[in-house]
Amino acid sequence: MGKIIAVANQKGGVGKTTTAINLAASLAALEFKTLLVDADPQANATSGLGFDPASISSNIYECMVGEANIEDIILKSPNLETLDLIPSHIDLVGAEVEMINIPNREERMREALAPLKEVYDFIIIDCSPSLGLITVNSLTAADSVVIPVQCEYFALEGLGKLLNTIKIITTRLNTELAIEGILLTMYDVRLRLSNQVVEEVKTHFQQMVFDTIIPRNVKLSESPGYGIPAILYDAESKGAMSYLNLAREIAEKNSVALAK
Ligand code: ADP
Ligand code: MG
């Protein structure tokens, strides 16, 4: 039975998509059968894996409202045998409004992804920078959530609101939802600020924080432009290696035997 992990934080630009792409690719490189679900209308995870969102007509929304069969919209990563993608496109924006009146509107993604839990070891959901209905669906579908926190000013801003939303979802919609971990991203060893944020977040959240810290690394920001994850763009880079370490940490935490 596969594990569904949502990568969420309603703050934009904190490294959600970078984490979703590179965590999924690293798990796939460790030979886990992995599915990346792009649940953001901006479709950055879709283009980051080399697909053109403009030429894509299906997304998770069509499956959530029963207009498409989930197996039919899965794309194969051209570069990694064990990595698949459910793409997104801009129409996902309208989905939130259209879904208001349908029954079980918060549970549609869970229902859509349910058959795929048998197929994949890990399903990683890249959430949008909002706490709207699609994100609520993502958190309701997920077994756990990874929360990227940027090593910057106001790092903890909005985190209370996110944790509160997670709490509400755990009481009302998904009692099984766990926090997989808080992930410090864009860490710069030379900056006192970065070190202060690490200290602050670790003091507040202690063992909830992943041991792995993601450094600021240019390969991580360049690789989506080439439509490939960092591990294929420059496997030796600090960025690629840190996401591989995160994948190992998550696999170990979940006692999933490492294939490699
Ligand atoms: P989000 O999905 O939360 O909006 P992104 O993953 O898109 O955030 O990251 C925001 C920007 O920062 C992107 O341009 C991305 O390439 C860049 N970025 C993210 N993580 C890193 C990193 N560790 N090092 C360098 N650049 C990064
Ligand atoms: Mg994003």
Ligand 1 atom with the shortest distance to the CA of 44: 7
Ligand 1 atom with the shortest distance to the CA of 215: 23
Ligand nearest to the CA of 187: 1
Confidence of residue 100 (pLDDT cuts 50, 70, 90): confident
What does 34-65 look like in DSSP terms, one character per residue? EEEEEE-TT-HHHHHTT--GGG----HHHHHT
3-253 belongs to CATH 3.40.50.280:
no
pTM for this predicted structure: 0.96
ipTM above 0.90, yes or no: yes
pLDDT at position 257 is 62
- 121-150: average pLDDT: 96
- 74-88: average pLDDT: 95
In this structure, what are the phi and psi dihedrals at residue 6, rounded to the nearest 5 degrees? -90, 140
- 74-103: average pLDDT: 88
Ligand 1 binding pocket mutation candidate from 14, 18, 126, 210 (most atoms within 8 A of CB): 18
Q: Which residues line ligand 1 (CB under 6 A)?
A: 12-18, 44, 129, 185-186, 214, 216-217, 220-221, 239
Spacing of C-alpha 233 from chain mean position: 20
Compute the mean pLDDT over every residue in the chain, rounded to the nearest whole number: 93
pLDDT at position 192 is 93
Residue ID of nearest Cα to ligand 1 atom 15: 221
Q: How far is the CA of 33 from the centre of ligand 2 (A)?
A: 23
- 77-87: average pLDDT: 96
* Residue-range domain boundaries for the chain: 3-253
> Could you tell me the CA-to-CA distances from 137 to 2, 35, 89, 92 in Å, in that order?
18, 17, 17, 13
Ligand 1 binding pocket mutation candidate from 147, 221, 241, 246 (most atoms within 8 A of CB): 221
Which carries the bigger pLDDT value, residue 110 or residue 96?
A: 110
How far apart CA 232 and CA 243 sit, in angstroms, is 12
| Residue-wise pLDDT tens digits, 21-78 | 999 999 999 999 999 999 998 999 999 999 998 898 888 888 888 889 999 999 999 9
| pLDDT value at 112 more than 60 | yes
Q: Tell me the percentage of the chain whose pLDDT exceeds 90.
A: 80
pLDDT at position 258 is 56
pLDDT at position 77 is 96
| Residue-wise pLDDT tens digits, 149-196 | 999 988 888 899 999 999 999 999 999 999 999 999 999 999 999 999
CB under 5 Å of ion ligand 2: residues = 16-17, 44
Is the Cβ–Cβ distance between 70 and 123 less than 8 Å?
A: no
